[in-house]
Amino acid sequence: MLSIAALIGFKQFLPEKIFTETAGTKNVVVDSLMLEAAEGAGNAPVEKDTLSNTKISFTATNGVKFPAETFEDYKGFQHLVAFYEKLLQLEKSQQGNVRIAYFGDSMTDGDMIVKDLRSSLQNRFGGEGVGFVNITSESAPSRSTLSHSFSGNWKTQSYLNVKNPRKPFGINGHVFFTKRDTVNPVWVKYKASKLSHLSSLNNATLFYGRSGNTHAKMQVIIGADTINKKLNAGSLLNTMPVSGGDVKSFKANFIAADSIPFYGFNFDDGRGVHVDNFSNRGNSGLPIATFNTNLMKAFNEKLGYDLIVLHYGTNVLNYGSLNYTWYEKKMSKVVAHLRECFPGVAILIISTADKSSKYGTEMKTDSAVVPLTLAQKRYAVQTESGYVNLYTLMGGNGSMVRWVEDVPAYANKDYTHFNFRGSKKISDLIYNQLNDGYEKYKALRGGKPLPKEPKRDSVFPVAKPVQVTKPILNKPAADSFKPAAQPVKKPLQPAAVKPVKPAIVPAKEIKPKELKPQPAQPVTAPVIKDTANAQ
């Protein structure tokens, strides 16, 4: 009784937000660089947005110029022209390939979201193979696009918690070493799935780095056959094909391979579209700035990237103040570094999705979501990158609550991560915006007028009634989400392909001033290991 009385007495002094639904979630961890940056930012107040009323004009690229955009509706299709041109040439000739590197956090863990985007693109433009896969992965048990297992005697270094690795990190943000073991072999095993476009391990190829080791071998076991391959580690980046063609599965034993940095295996048929999923739980995106430029250029020479996607935000929410200027500046440097590592590549920024936290007894959109999406949009504009506002596309204010509580549900009870059903919808939203820009590009390139887009009202109510005047999605499919009041024109599609029809309609962003800052959650930074002299 005394405790209850004390709680009632002190209730008026307690913060509105007491607990979050993501506390204790094993998938929500934070990289050390983000913690350092957030701590250095302090509790600065939210800055006034100087871009909110800006009209953004573009410079023509190869004779193609998209209409000017407002900051509010910014998508940056102009900055994806090089990527769209590669798609167009692929669609016309049915020859060549287009490659996408998709960097993300726990939202894309286990190939979530990415697998559906890959499938949509390969259905339309062709392509076989799952792309680049790590040597080991914490998400291997949950990945449906590939069966992946490995021995326990691998040593892994990740750019999330190691500042100075023994050897440079690979494009996946990891570097793997065999542990000295005279009894147990060091091995990795892959098996193709039965999914469309992923039913074979296409042109399986090992990627590994430089070492003075001249005795290492890879023993490949395919069915009843065993093939021994000598590993020549003389170059900054080396490759070794597993076999002369496609296989269903294989096991690779690594013999006397001490000191050689291994990165992973690549699986693709060399035609159509290929999408590599480089997801890391707890990643804010900032560790990408530690990439070795020369090694990334070597990866690019062998794989050839046309688009880099940066899909982050989950791990940046609720750390520091609601002023995300520090994140905006840091990620701008990340984009600049990526352009140095991958010259000529187009870059697409995907914002954080909605996330709900408990305020009193009610789950609501977290107060940090909108300020973070605005910071992500600002650095997209400033770095001349494309931009997808996932928060508004999934419904805006309060949408995560609806995704969790709808039957069937589209998101998990942590009010942060999507389930397989929701991941498919998110993939459709991203695909449709990319496709919308692609169809506009083809019309501009062909000298045809752009189709006018009809106005429509938002499906879900927000804090203030708004009207979206420039929707980018196809007409939603019929399910538990309500359809828009008026139909939307479908983008041009080849006759043989059925367009993807997501079931969600965007709502307008809420201005940051409508949200009240909440206290930051305490975080304990992970231990950072310095292994520079651990040769």
Instruction: Identify whether residues 425 and 340 lie together within a single domain.
Output: yes
pLDDT in tens, 404-416: 999 999 999 999 9
Percent of the chain whose pLDDT exceeds 90? 69
Separation CA 58–CA 55 (nearest Å) = 10
Instruction: Identify whether residues 306 and 367 lie together within a single domain.
Output: yes
pLDDT in tens, 73-93: 999 999 999 999 999 999 999
CA 284 from centroid of its chain's CA atoms:
11
pLDDT in tens, 313-342: 999 997 667 899 999 999 999 999 999 999
In-domain check, residue 182: yes
The pLDDT value recorded for residue 36 is: 61
Per-residue pLDDT band at 127 (split at 50, 70, 90): very high
Separation CA 205–CA 258 (nearest Å) = 20
The residue segments making up the domain with residue 60 are 28-127+271-449
Instruction: Identify whether residues 71 and 119 lie together within a single domain.
Output: yes
Q: For position 159, which CATH number holds?
A: 2.60.120.260
Q: For position 342, which CATH number holds?
A: 3.40.50.1110
8 A C-beta contact, residue 170 and residue 201: no
Q: Which of 389, 407, 397 is nearest to 363 (CA)?
A: 397
**181-205 mean pLDDT:** 94
Secondary element (H or E) of residue 37: helix 32-41
- Structure token pair of residue 137: 């992965």
Burial environment of residue 443 by CB neighbours within 10 A (0 to 12, 13 to 18, 19 or more): middle
pLDDT over 60 at 236, yes or no: yes
Whether omega for the bond prior to residue 519 falls within 30 degrees of 0, making it cis, is no
pLDDT over 50 at 47, yes or no: yes
Instruction: Identify whether residues 115 and 161 lie together within a single domain.
Output: no
Identify the domain boundary among 213, 235, 269.
269
Structure-model confidence comparison of residues 517 and 163, the more confident one: 163
Mean pLDDT taken over the chain? 83
Per-residue pLDDT band at 471 (split at 50, 70, 90): very low
The pLDDT value recorded for residue 182 is: 74
Residues with Cβ within 8 Å of 97's Cβ and at least 6 positions away in sequence, in order, are 90, 127, 268, 270, 271, 272, 273, 274, 304
CA 460 from centroid of its chain's CA atoms:
26
Separation CA 289–CA 329 (nearest Å) = 12
Separation CA 454–CA 262 (nearest Å) = 52
Range of lowest pLDDT (25-34, 378-387, 500-509): 500-509
Instruction: Identify whether residues 306 and 364 lie together within a single domain.
Output: yes
pLDDT in tens, 93-110: 999 999 999 999 999 999
8 A C-beta contact, residue 132 and residue 303: yes
Identify the domain boundary among 449, 483, 504.
449
Q: Which of 407, 437, 440, 410 is nearest to 425 (CA)?
A: 410
**129-147 mean pLDDT:** 96
Instruction: Identify whether residues 43 and 104 lie together within a single domain.
Output: yes
Instruction: Identify whether residues 154 and 263 lie together within a single domain.
Output: yes
Instruction: Identify whether residues 186 and 282 lie together within a single domain.
Output: no
Strands 272-279 and 69-70: unpaired
The pLDDT value recorded for residue 183 is: 82
The pLDDT value recorded for residue 297 is: 98
In-domain check, residue 176: yes
Instruction: Identify whether residues 34 and 52 lie together within a single domain.
Output: yes
Burial environment of residue 196 by CB neighbours within 10 A (0 to 12, 13 to 18, 19 or more): exposed
The pLDDT value recorded for residue 487 is: 43
Range of lowest pLDDT (76-90, 287-301, 318-332, 511-525): 511-525
Instruction: Identify whether residues 86 and 211 lie together within a single domain.
Output: no
Instruction: Identify whether residues 186 and 230 lie together within a single domain.
Output: yes
Q: Which of 257, 281, 337 is nearest to 140 (CA)?
A: 281
Separation CA 350–CA 372 (nearest Å) = 12
Per-residue pLDDT band at 379 (split at 50, 70, 90): very high
Instruction: Identify whether residues 352 and 365 lie together within a single domain.
Output: yes
- Answer yes or no: pTM beyond 0.85: no
The pLDDT value recorded for residue 6 is: 59
In-domain check, residue 501: no
Whether omega for the bond prior to residue 408 falls within 30 degrees of 0, making it cis, is yes
8 A C-beta contact, residue 306 and residue 130: no
Q: What is the DSSP letter of 452?
A: P
Name the H helices within 394-489.
399-405, 420-445
- Structure token pair of residue 324: 């995300």
Q: What is the DSSP letter of 366?
A: -
In-domain check, residue 535: no
In-domain check, residue 473: no
The pLDDT value recorded for residue 318 is: 75
**125-136 mean pLDDT:** 98
In-domain check, residue 136: no
Separation CA 452–CA 298 (nearest Å) = 44
The pLDDT value recorded for residue 35 is: 59
The pLDDT value recorded for residue 395 is: 97
In-domain check, residue 6: no
Q: How many CB atoms lie within 10 A of CB 372?
A: 25
pLDDT in tens, 424-439: 999 999 999 999 999 9
Separation CA 46–CA 517 (nearest Å) = 9
In-domain check, residue 439: yes
Separation CA 528–CA 264 (nearest Å) = 24
The number of folded domains in the chain is 2
Per-residue pLDDT band at 3 (split at 50, 70, 90): low
The pLDDT value recorded for residue 473 is: 36
Bridge partners, 61 (sequence order) = 64
The pLDDT value recorded for residue 494 is: 43
pLDDT over 80 at 500, yes or no: no
- Structure token pair of residue 103: 């960097």
- The identity of residue 512, as a single letter, is P
- Structure token pair of residue 180: 């000295």
Count of residues in the chain: 535
Name the H helices within 178-248.
none
The pLDDT value recorded for residue 1 is: 65
Identify the domain boundary among 269, 288, 319.
269
**21-28 mean pLDDT:** 38
